[in-house]
Structure 1
Amino acid sequence: MAKEFNVPPVIFPSSLGGVTAAAGPQNRRAPTPSFTPNPNPNANLPFLSFDIGSTSGPGPISSSSSINASHHPSGGFFDDEPPLLEELGINTGQIWSKTLSILNPFRPNPGLHADADLFGPFLLLMAFGLFQLLAGKLHFGIILGWLTVCSLFIYLVFNMLAGRSGNLDLYRCFSLVGYCMLPIVVLSALSLFVPRGGMLMFGMAAVFVLWSTRACTRLLVEIAAGGDEHRGLIAYACWLIYTLFSLLVVF
């Protein structure tokens, strides 16, 4: 039979007046709870919450925290904006109408070319250079450089002939000379299917040069003032310019 031992009670110091008390079930301290992390660390930080209505409770959202949908970029804010081409000053319909007017060498429409632009001539020059590239000739820099010099030449000749009554500006001169390059562009495209250096090629070049000369002369005289009396000299200057460009195609 096991022997029983009398275990003396354990005495702990008490904080009440320095008197010690026996440790019993009624005098034992409650165990300190272990640290438990907060499952929601942002619960006490409302400014980190993405829920707009979490701090204000249920109900309608106040005007200070609401977002006006009409000013949101994804809403209808950009519906009234003009297209990008119009903001850049590029009117494709007008460019197409100007190009079609040059196709009629006897009746080009001067009213369409009163509003000058450079995007249409740039497209025609790029097409001219592309057709030349297909023929084995790299002439992009030559075409742009020659057009700049030729437009300056026409500008000086016209204003010297018209005197003080002339109102041809350089920007409009660039536009007119560039648009009238359309027959030379057509010649460059047809030259891909015609033997180079033959009589047919020279005949085609003469026809398209006269076409460009007539169209450019008519537009210059009717749009700018003071050139009607010197139509022959202006036509001769235009003929020299487009003959120069036709030599790039022929040779």
Structure 2
Amino acid sequence: MAKEFNVPPVVFPSGGNPSIGPQQRRVPTVPFQPPRPVNPNLPFIDIGSAAPSTSFSIPPYGGNGVGFGGSGFEDELPLLEELGINTRQIWRKTVSILNPVRINASLHEDADLSGPFLFLMAFGLFQLLAGKIHFGIILGWVTVASLFLYVVFNMLAGRNGNLDLYRCLSLLGYCMLPIVIFSVFSLFLPQGGVVIFAMGAVFVLWSTRVCTRLLVELASCGDEHRGLIAYACCLIYMLFSLLVIF
């Protein structure tokens, strides 16, 4: 038979937990203290009436400044120019390469690699459309060809040669434009025919003439060895034309 226990009911006082008396309650910590009353004796500071300092003044909205003393959006350069890609300069250099009779060498005084990289990627893309994956070969051959042309030119020019590797790579890449055009025409020509060989010879001579002219005019002591420089350029562009033909 189960025993029954008489448990008296627990009654809590209205003040909360009976184990904590009024003297044992915790004082609120600093982050939870109520805000102190404002002293009426302190002077009132009007922010709107204070004159702004010249060093920390904020230009009005819609003015020439943006943010805290920054330049306006109209003064900012385009994103491509901030990255070092001048599209107008690339277009002018491309147009100068398309005219092998009248070449403006002054446009190529400022060397860049943006245009050559676009031409090399376009050349690899057209080779890919022909069923040939040559991206790695093209980039590797351009690097080796630039080193080869740089060494040959400076050996011929001697101590007075001022052709650097960066300019050599830029000129060699821009003069790849006729070979890129040849890769476009090769998509519509039968492989191994006489026509594609004749067209390849024309485009190789085009690239050779342009590259030799630019190297001789932009680098010193190259006019005396124009024939040898043209021979080196012809070997380089003939190598790239063989990728298109075969």
Q: TM-score range by the shorter chain?
A: 0.7 to 0.9
Distance 1:59 1:233 in 2: 78
Q: Could you tell me how far 1:90 is from its partner in structure 2?
A: 1.5
Distance 1:249 1:150 in 2: 17
Provide the TM-score with structure 2 as the length reference.
0.74
Tell me, yes or no, if structure 1 residue 227 matches structure 2 residue 242.
no
Distance 2:127 2:181 in 1: 11
CA distance 1:61–1:114, change in 2 (3 Å): same
Partner of 2:85: 90
Unaligned runs of 5+ in 2: 1-33, 38-43, 60-64
- Equivalent of 1:107, from 102, 113, 116? 102
Distance 1:170 1:250 in 2: 29
Q: Could you tell me how far 1:82 is from its partner in structure 2?
A: 1.6
**Equivalent pair of 2:119/2:173 in contact (CA under 8 Å):** yes
Distance 1:183 1:246 in 2: 10
Partner of 1:30: none
CA distance 1:59–1:227, change in 2 (3 Å): closer
Provide the identity percentage.
Answer: 70
CA distance 1:198–1:58, change in 2 (3 Å): closer
- Equivalent of 1:193, from 185, 188, 192? 188
Provide the TM-score with structure 1 as the length reference.
0.73
RMSD after superposition:
2.5
Q: Could you tell me how far 1:56 is from its partner in structure 2?
A: 6.4
Q: Could you tell me how far 1:189 is from its partner in structure 2?
A: 0.6
Aligned to 2:75, the other structure's residue is in SS state coil
Distance 2:95 2:242 in 1: 25
Distance 1:225 1:135 in 2: 40
**Equivalent pair of 2:172/2:211 in contact (CA under 8 Å):** yes
Unaligned runs of 5+ in 1: 1-42, 47-54
Runs of 4 or more above 4 Å deviation: 43-46, 55-64
Q: Could you tell me how far 1:78 is from its partner in structure 2?
A: 3.8
Larger radius of gyration: 1
Q: Could you tell me how far 1:62 is from its partner in structure 2?
A: 7.0
Distance 1:230 1:165 in 2: 13
Residue identity opposite 2:179 in structure 1: I
What aligned pairs does 1:143-162 form with structure 2 within 5 A after superposition? 143-162=138-157
Distance 2:102 2:90 in 1: 17
What aligned pairs does 1:35-184 form with structure 2 within 5 A after superposition? 60=49, 63=52, 68-69=58-59, 70-72=65-67, 77-184=72-179
Distance 1:218 1:71 in 2: 48
Equivalent residue pairs, number = 200
